[in-house]
Amino acid sequence: MNYIAESAKKAQKNSREKYIYGDKLVFMKDQLPYGFDLDYVLETIENLIPRTFFDNIDSVYIGDFKDFQNRDLPFNAKYKDNALYITNNQDNENDMMDDFIHEVAHAVEEQYEDQIYSDTTIQNEFKGKRRTLYHLLNQEGFEPSEENFDNVEYDKYFDHYLYNVVGYPTLSSLTTGLFYSPYSVTSLREYFANGFENYFLRDKNYLKKISPVLYEKITDLIYNNTGEEQNNEY
């Protein structure tokens, strides 16, 4: 009986089909790196993220998708049509959790868009930070486009400018204490998703310090839609 139980456990661990929260399919189209513990990733996310925030997600697919290969800019995951698509090329379990929770944030945006954006408080905080960065880049001699910095929606060319012209090492230095990470500069929605990711995975007190409006909005989302305060112990 022990042998049968261990065999069943091993088969389940190696299965290409898994589930998160019991009913959300996680399908592994392509193999993950040797020794990668997907069960640990899924269990950790279940413990971190309220189940309610997965209501707009039907399934998760892990693999080497063409969308990830044919882009000028780094691209490891996306949320589309109520599904998450995540690359199987992961450095480690924490790397996947970054991608996973970031895309969950975009599903949460779709689900609670009015609660998040209707009062424009996040937008105002984001635009204020963008203006500060605009002046910092001017002082560094980059001569950025004011129009690009006023546009809060995602723009491929602006993303390219930040990544390839300014460069993330320089951007990281200039945004310390202003944005949680360089990628959150890209657009208002990425600002929210990056904050959401770091709220659950890293030092949410630092997020509260540098982006208090964003921090309070995420905290309110948790309380208003789950009735509980989230305890981030990860």
**pLDDT by residue (tens digit) across 106-150?**
999 999 999 999 999 999 999 999 999 999 999 999 988 889 899
Given a cut of 50, whether residue 11 has pLDDT beyond it is no
> Confidence band (pLDDT; 50, 70, 90) for 224?
confident
Among the ranges given (60-74, 163-177, 210-224), the one the predictor scored with the smallest mean pLDDT: 60-74
Averaged pLDDT of the chain: 88
78-108 tens-digit pLDDT = 999 999 999 999 999 999 999 999 999 999 9
170-196 tens-digit pLDDT = 999 999 999 998 999 999 999 999 999
40-62 tens-digit pLDDT = 999 999 999 999 999 999 999 99
| Secondary structure (DSSP) of 114-170 | HHHHTT-HHHHHHHHHHHHHHHHHHHTT----HHHHH--S--HHHHHIIIIIIIHHH
**Count of residues for the chain?**
234
Secondary structure (3-state) at 70: coil
